[in-house]
Amino acid sequence: MKDIFYLLIFVFFSSSFFTDLTAFPSGSADYQLFEREGKQGLKDNEGNILISASYDELGWSKGPFEVFNNVLGYRQGSQWGVISLQNEIIIANRFSQLYPGAKNMLIAGIKDPASHRHLMGVVTIEGKEVLPFQYASIRLTDLRAIVSTRQGSKYVYGVVDFDNKTVIPSQYADISFLGSLRFAVRNGEGKTAIFNDKGKQVLGFELDSISNFRHGYALTYENHLRGLINLDGAILQPVKYKDFKVSGDGVKALDFNQWHVISNDNQELKRMRYDALLPYGKGLTEVRANDKTWLINTEAEALTPKNYDQLKGFDSGFVAFRIDSRWGVMDDQYNVLMPARFDSVFLSEGMIYTREMIHGKLMWSMYDELGVKKSHYNYDEIGKRTSHLYPVKRQGHWGFIDRSGEEVIHCVYDEVSPFVDGLSAVGFHREFGIVDKTGDWIVLPQKARIRVINDQYYVTNDGRLTTLKSLDEGTIYFTENPLEIKENYLLEHLSDGTIWKIDFQGRMVKPAFSSDRYQEVRAPSEGFYAAKIDGKYGFIDAQNRLRIANRYDEAGSFSEGLAAVKLMGRWGFIDKLERLVIQPLYNKEAIFKNGLAVVSNDKGSGLITPEGKPACPFDFDAIERLDNGRFIAKKGNKTGLINESGRIIINVKYEELQDLNNGYAIVKLFGQYGLVDLNGVDIIPIAYDQLIYDPNNGNYLAMKKSQWESVSLP
């Protein structure tokens, strides 16, 4: 049978679980696994067979394929052994688990016939037992082994030497190797201490976690803060920094950004160091530091724990929080109402929706604001409230539950729609009907799709046929033309472009504009419709009367009594009596609002009055109207502010400008931010790397970015 080559590998020796262990010298030859008649073998890069294709699997029970100290694991049936590259069996297949450890040692397992669990030990590549087969797991360092044993329903960790003598007792929640003969030991409360390879504790259980040692130093972590220790556990820098850089040239520290809380009159109210401050609510600020976030009050006191990864506030005052990938909920007093165990959470109208993995599937449940579960079942989906009921999907079908979680309309429908006046259109066995809030049929299932209009009328769609029906009287009107459903009438679009307005009694109220006369009719503005007739634009009224002759190349909408029109490639303005009030001098269409229009000519952009008089110079590249009536003016990469009458109130000299609509503007100049009033007078100096307005508390959050600094060590 032809050989099948499916994996190109390189011989290398184990680099160990820990990054600072010395790697064994690696060979230079390449090897290829091959398969023949369902069995695996090994060839060198010249195609010579080194290990015959006689084994169910070559490699290891765990980890990547590798040749380890010129030997390889092999499996026959369910048991593993060791074979040399000379095709000689070194250890017979008697292990349930087998994979490389460190130096010339392998981690092996045998299955306990009583518990059916793997009992792990350590053997050399020659098969000599180093550690007995009594552990749940083993991780090897140069001279020690981190081992775990099962105690009841949990595992405890310790450290032994290669004579199986206890170095650190097996009583801890976890142990990891830090390098430089140091171990991080975590207790049941989640705090971490440091032990040396003799089992001596060199730093107490004070830390959240610790990094590996590098150049004789390690970082210590407490929530968002970092510190620095040496091999003896001596604190070189207190746990208060954002980060450290450790290299052969020394140590650099990075503090958090310096934040200032500043009033409108430039009085500093508070100073603190974090990555970021963000407005959150009245008397509240969100803090972010080293990927952690929490809320503080006006006194900078933490209101929520400092170990959350994300916060999301809701109108009710409740807060969803994330730890790793799981979400929980706090009430409006920041007490944990629901722990972080959910895949997703959101709050709506006094109810809490949660999604979590149940029996291998993500399912939704609903809770009240006391954290009491109300839904009696776990659902595929739960929708937002509609008329005091909640749409739910269970086992592929839809129904409705009430606020108490009672399934008042059972999950039997293919689809459901929001209630309208107490009625919901539903799909049932590929047909469609209408039910009320008790689940009783108001309209029995039929083939045509249904849309409820109100408690008297509904529309059915069957192919191209659309029918307006009354719940009491049946069919009122039908058509194959497209229909738009409005609040109390229908718009029917005829094939010739005519639009008919139909009331709910099926009567034509008013025909729209016929395409026989009009090529285009636009939406009304101040009672006038821009209409295209014979290739030119004019204006008609609601009675189809031509009020302004069709003589213009283009036309805009009426606003404040004037409409922009285009003649000979330029735009001007006419009134409703078709008087040319403003000559066609401008490049673009514009509208008047609050007595001013933004226009542009060959000189630039500017503002004009309804009389056509310039309200400001035409020397700007662009002018943007703000909702508050003022205007952002731009020239090149500079920005300024124009007031409601067209006067320049903040000179066009800033890189950025944000009108806060409170009498002040945040500006940026030479990469720095500050605050000016609407006369352009400096209020907060332009000296900050970031400036944020907090509308909830009426103050400003100003930041100066921190820099890396060299630190001296004892």
Neighbours of 213 (CB within 10 A): 22
Class of domain 520-617: mainly beta
**Interval 358-396: pLDDT, tens:** 999 999 999 999 999 999 999 999 999 999 999 999 999
CA distance 714 to 711: 10
pLDDT above 50 for 12: no
* pLDDT tens figures, 225-235: 999 999 888 88
Average pLDDT, the chain: 92
State the DSSP code for 689: S
| Tokens 């689809």, located at residue | 415
Least confident window among 117-121, 278-282, 482-486: 482-486
The model carries a pTM of 0.78
Residue 194 CA to residue 235 CA, distance in Å, equals 12
Q: Give percent of the chain with pLDDT exceeding 90.
A: 82
From the centroid of its chain, how far is CA 343? Answer: 13
pLDDT value for 23: 32
* Between residues 454 and 233, the one the model is more confident about: 454
Closest to 452 measured CA to CA, from 387, 498, 510, 396: 387
Q: Which residue has the higher pLDDT, 487 or 409?
A: 409
Query: Could you read off the pLDDT of 434-446 as tens digits, one per residue?
Result: 999 999 999 999 9
Contacting residues for 254 by C-beta, under 8 A, at least 6 apart = 241, 242, 243, 244, 245, 706, 707, 708, 709
Nearest to 125 by CA among 176, 66, 182, 169: 66
> Can you tell me the distance from the alpha carbon of 18 to that of 404, in angstroms, rounded to the nearest whole number?
54
pLDDT (0 to 100) of residue 581:
97
At position 286, the amino acid (one-letter code) is: E
- Say what the pLDDT of residue 30 is: 78
pLDDT per position as a tens digit, 144-197: 999 999 998 899 999 999 999 999 999 999 999 998 899 999 999 999 999 999
- What's residue 27's pLDDT? 41
Evaluated on CA atoms 4, 6, 8, 12, the torsion sign reads negative
Beta-bridge partner residues of 699:
694
Whether 210 contacts 191, CB under 8 Å: no
Cα 616 from Cα 647, distance rounded (Å): 6
Q: Quick check: 479 and 466 in contact, CB under 8 A?
A: yes
pLDDT at 406 over 80: yes
| pLDDT, position 351 | 95
Express each pLDDT in 595-638 by its tens digit: 999 999 999 999 999 999 999 999 999 999 999 999 999 999 99
- Tell me which DSSP letter residue 306 carries: T
Strand partners, 642: 631, 648
CA pair distance 93, 80, nearest whole angstrom: 4
Q: How far is CA 455 from the centre of its chain?
A: 41
* Six-digit token string for 566: 């285009």
Q: What is the model's pLDDT at position 514?
A: 60
24 has a pLDDT exceeding 70: no
Residue ranges of the domains in the chain? 4-210, 283-511, 520-617
Q: DSSP label at 461? A: E
Between the ranges 112-116, 543-547, 664-668, where is the mean pLDDT highest? 664-668
Q: Do residues 276 and 261 lie in contact, with contact meaning Cβ atoms separated by under 8 Å?
A: no
In angstroms, the Cα distances linking 643 to 433, 593, 637, 678, 680 are 58, 13, 20, 9, 12
pLDDT in tens, 649-677: 999 999 999 999 999 999 999 999 999 99
Per-residue pLDDT band at 417 (split at 50, 70, 90): very high
| pLDDT at residue 22 is higher than 60 | no
